[in-house]
């Protein structure tokens, strides 16, 4: 699989529901998949919010990162530690933390190698110029997983897109501060 086929799945699913045009919200890898979906089918999407998205040029994974993904795929506690470390100052109930960690660890085994491979070879800079939907790119100032520069570049590549740095937040504002995330998203999607 690659970002283009995953974005094609998004487009196909939206069309099959007959809900077009739709608004899109994507986070992290889902953010870049959503952006590519909007480029593939510009008239299908009316507005979008991309939270801490992967950059248009992906992520360069060296041998040490592949080894880390391999280790996470075999060690549920390590996976939980890494996933939960992407959240800055999140005050979450233990049960919710366990559910997040279990969901991350429980992904299909092919994803542990497939996602790094996909992101290691990604370059969708030219394609993003086809996006028509007004797009807001959000990025937590304390995101230690993805560099803010990638989100800033994404906002420059998508015609008319805006960029907003979220003070005091990390990679997962939607989990760290749901009320703030809903407020920022609602303002862009619904104008309130």
pLDDT in tens, 105-143: 999 988 989 999 999 999 999 999 999 999 999 999 999
* Highest-pLDDT range among 14-23, 74-83, 161-170: 161-170
Give the range among 35-44, 79-88, 89-98, 107-116 with minimum mean pLDDT: 89-98
Q: What percent of the chain has pLDDT over 90?
A: 84
Q: Compute the average pLDDT of residues 65-87.
A: 91
- Sorting pLDDT into bands at 50, 70 and 90, what band is 94? confident
What is the pLDDT at residue 45? 98
What is the pLDDT at residue 119? 95
Considering the domain delimited by 3-60+123-190, tell me its CATH architecture. 3-Layer(aba) Sandwich (3.40)
Q: How far apart are CA 56 and CA 63, in angstroms?
A: 21
Q: Average pLDDT, whole number, for the chain?
A: 94
What is the pLDDT at residue 192? 62
What contacts 24+ positions apart, CB below 8 Å, involve 154-158?
154/31, 154/32, 154/35, 154/50, 154/53, 154/55, 154/56, 154/128, 157/56, 157/125, 157/128, 157/129, 158/35, 158/128, 158/129, 158/131
pTM for the full predicted model? 0.92
Q: Where in the chain is the domain with CATH 3.40.50.1820?
A: 3-60+123-190
Summarised one tens digit per residue, pLDDT across range 3-27 is 999 999 999 999 999 988 999 999 9
């Amino acid at each position: 699989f690659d970002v283009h086929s995953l974005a094609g799945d998004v487009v196909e699913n939206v069309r099959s529901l007959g809900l077009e045009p739709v608004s899109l919200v994507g986070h992290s890898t889902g953010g870049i998949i959503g952006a590519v979906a909007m480029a593939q089918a510009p008239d299908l999407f009316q507005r979008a919010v991309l939270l801490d998205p992967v950059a248009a040029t992906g992520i360069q994974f060296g041998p040490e990162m592949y080894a880390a993904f391999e280790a996470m795929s075999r060690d549920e506690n390590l996976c939980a530690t890494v996933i939960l470390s992407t959240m800055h100052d999140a005050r979450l109930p233990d049960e919710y933390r366990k559910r997040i960690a279990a969901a991350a660890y429980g992904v299909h085994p092919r994803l542990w190698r497939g996602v790094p491979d996909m992101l290691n070879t990604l370059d969708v800079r030219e394609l993003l110029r086809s996006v028509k939907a007004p797009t807001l790119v959000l990025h937590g100032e304390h995101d230690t997983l993805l560099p803010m520069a990638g989100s800033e570049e994404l906002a420059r590549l998508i015609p008319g897109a805006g960029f907003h740095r979220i003070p005091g937040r990390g990679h997962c504002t939607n989990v760290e501060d749901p009320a703030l995330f809903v407020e920022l998203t609602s303002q862009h999607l619904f104008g309130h």
